[in-house]
Structure 1
């Protein structure tokens, strides 16, 4: 083991051994990828307690112990039963979250249009967000701090065309893709965009801005998914600019899956670069020894910052926790131990994505 790696491992071990105190808040994002192929199946699998991936997800969360956790890749149901089952399983593992939030995502929500222009209706690609059933692959918030539910803002119904500077797809002749009527109904969020305020011990509010952008691939020359991915990311800049009503100017944090790497992704990389360089935000550049010591995929971006490991594509940085510039960052990391370290098996079994966390001073 090199000296550099030894120091990195020691720092990670110490950070994870000391969960956030009353003065420090740990905020994380994690695409757990536990979505199933039909409604009710995830609830069944969590309740049975026999699925190794779900068990690994629980182990990872219980190890890192975030105070506020933005989840992606969890199926939504009307009564919140799957989320409640996960909450209970986490409690049994020593990760207690008294407060949760979830809402119906755009995934699997019928649009009434042939959104991908292939001449067929009611396919997963024709939903407001790709999904085989309503609520598939949704999002949730787990929090140890109270959530101001009355002040939550759900932007999932915002139309794509209503985003300032929207990069809507077109046919080669410049006409709307797939049709004017479809674009008039198309929502921007492929899953959701939420602004979720949590109450700090001081009585102040920290607003968690969370989302899960579509992959910028799996489309045609019109680059529908690439354009949508970029605009889903850039939504946060428009929101902070005041384009969608009052927005926080302090004590906020973006936490979610952008599905875009600033160096190596397919897609419009300038979107994530623009967000990372926004002076209202801080990029703590969370890193891990697991990503740093893994065989390089030949990409140009820093290996240590990678947050996902996809077969055939390799490792990329696509998951982000970005505090507002007024918040003091005291630590950051990606839970991706090296192969010879505790937690490696859980991290790599749970999901292709890794949990990304940032510690901030609670005002």
Structure 2
């Protein structure tokens, strides 16, 4: 927020231009400080990383140096039904049936206190004409920066699984409760778009097995069109390294990471099957495109994550997932 207040921050200007050029109807920005309440930087009172001390970013409910760091914000050209927004910031990880909490690493008291969401999970109802679309947004923890217990990889898996359960009617979502105590998941037949930096690639990187597949293989999720770009294919070829060993199609990558893991697919815009996808892409221009100045190479002018967009049929409008630095 301090960077934005001056109007002179070059990185913020580049992010703003990318957004202006893609012109979304609805937009999620991840890693946006001081917005709605999130778990990052909120002290847990426990030694969650088992380093012998209590306090600091790694012992917060979500990694952060202060409350609200790495938060989220949603912008919409369409009305948001603010009274119907559901948040799941305080949902306890232990309340998810079949969770992957590393029981041998965490004390019983920590297991009882841990929150599932490293930031928050939000169900934001958007009114588009006479139709409603639920914008389901989150930013699961990266599945790295831990030890052999894989606590972050396990949490990432379950943070992604939360939405897979939420959009499943009946018993599968019955365990879910929001921050007001209302229980259950999304109503059957509801339209939705799941968006965010999921920090999980189906083929490459360090994800716990099956993490993002919980959404990509879900019977209610439309994956007929995968956002892609020519610029990332060029980048993978020029950068080499881990990219040359990847199993996934580089055209679908969304994040320009250092070695390892190299470039991976981390960011998603996933509509329900009740929404027909008209088009989708990743904003990653090739080097001969004048707009490549907005994505560029290291030091990256906007973010190490590229904006992902998708056009759906309701009627013609655009949904975006974007992670800012």
Q: Shorter-chain TM-score: what band?
A: 0.7 to 0.9
1:110-154 C-alpha deviation (Å, 9 max, x unpaired): 111111111111110000000000100100101000100000000
Query: What RMSD, in angstroms, separates the aligned Cα atoms of the two structures?
Result: 1.2
Deviation (angstroms), 1:250: 2.7
In 1: Cα distance, 2:290 partner to 2:216 partner: 31
- Of 195, 198, 208, the residue aligned with 2:135 is 208
The equivalent residue for 1:303 is 250
Partner of 1:34 in structure 2?
Answer: none
Q: Could you tell which deviates more after superposition, 242-251 or 133-142?
A: 242-251
Does the residue aligned with 2:31 lie in a helix, a strand or coil? strand
1:219 aligns with 2:146: yes
Equivalent residue number for residue 282 of structure 1: 222
**How far does residue 170 in structure 1 lie from its aligned partner after superposition?**
2.7
Secondary structure of the equivalent of 1:357? strand
Whether 2:318 is the aligned partner of 1:355: answer no
2:292 is aligned to: 344
1:311 Cα deviation after fit: 1.4
Aligned to 1:268: 208
* Residue 130 (structure 1) aligned to one of 53, 63, 73: 63
Alignment match, 1:247: 186
Residue 163 of structure 1 contacts residue 238 of structure 1 at CA under 8 Å; is this kept in 2? no
Structure 1 residue 246 displacement after superposition:
4.0
Distance in 2 separating the partners of 1:115 and 1:332 = 39
For the residues of structure 2 that align with 1:110 and 1:247, how far apart are their CA atoms? 31
More RCO (CA 8 Å, sep 6+): 1
Q: Does 1:119 align with 2:119?
A: no
Residue 183 (structure 1) aligned with residue 130 (structure 2): no
SS in structure 2 at match of 1:271 = coil
Structure 2: stretches of 5+ with no match in the other structure: 177-183, 316-325
Kindly indicate whether the alpha-carbon contact (under 8 Å) linking 2:164 and 2:214 is maintained by their aligned counterparts in 1: no
Alpha-carbon separation, structure 2, partners of 1:342 and 1:154: 40
Is 1:47 the counterpart of 2:29? The answer is no
TM-score (norm 2): 0.87
Counterpart position of 2:93: 160
Instruction: Name the SS of the counterpart of 2:111 in structure 1.
Output: helix
C-alpha distance in structure 2 between counterparts of 1:275 and 1:204, whole Å: 23
Secondary structure of the residue aligned to 1:150 is helix
CA contact (8 A) 1:104 1:135 kept: yes
The number of residue pairs the alignment matches comes to 290
1-side partners of 2:199 and 2:78: how far apart?
Answer: 28
**1:68 aligned partner:** 26
Cα deviation, 1:68-113, whole Å, max 9, x if unaligned, reads 0011011015xxxxxxxxxxxxxxxxxxxxxxxxx11100011111
Distance in structure 1 (CA, Å) of the matches to 2:100 and 2:76: 35
* 1:293 aligned residue: 234
Q: Helix, strand or coil: the match of 1:231?
A: helix
Whole-Å separation in 2 of the counterparts to 1:246 and 1:210? 14
> Does residue 1:192 correspond to 2:120, yes or no?
yes
Aligned to 1:334: 282
Q: Is the 8 A contact 2:103 2:111 kept in 1?
A: no
TM superposition shift of 1:305: 0.3
- The answer (yes or no) to whether the contact 1:164–1:238 under 8 Å persists in 2 is no
Q: How big is the shift at 1:210?
A: 0.4
Q: Distance in 2 between matches of 1:150 and 1:213?
A: 25
Q: Residue 14 of structure 2 is aligned with which of 35, 56, 63?
A: 56
Deviation, 1:178, is 2.0
Secondary structure class of the residue paired with 1:58: helix
Return structure 1 stretches of 4+ with deviation > 6 angstroms.
none
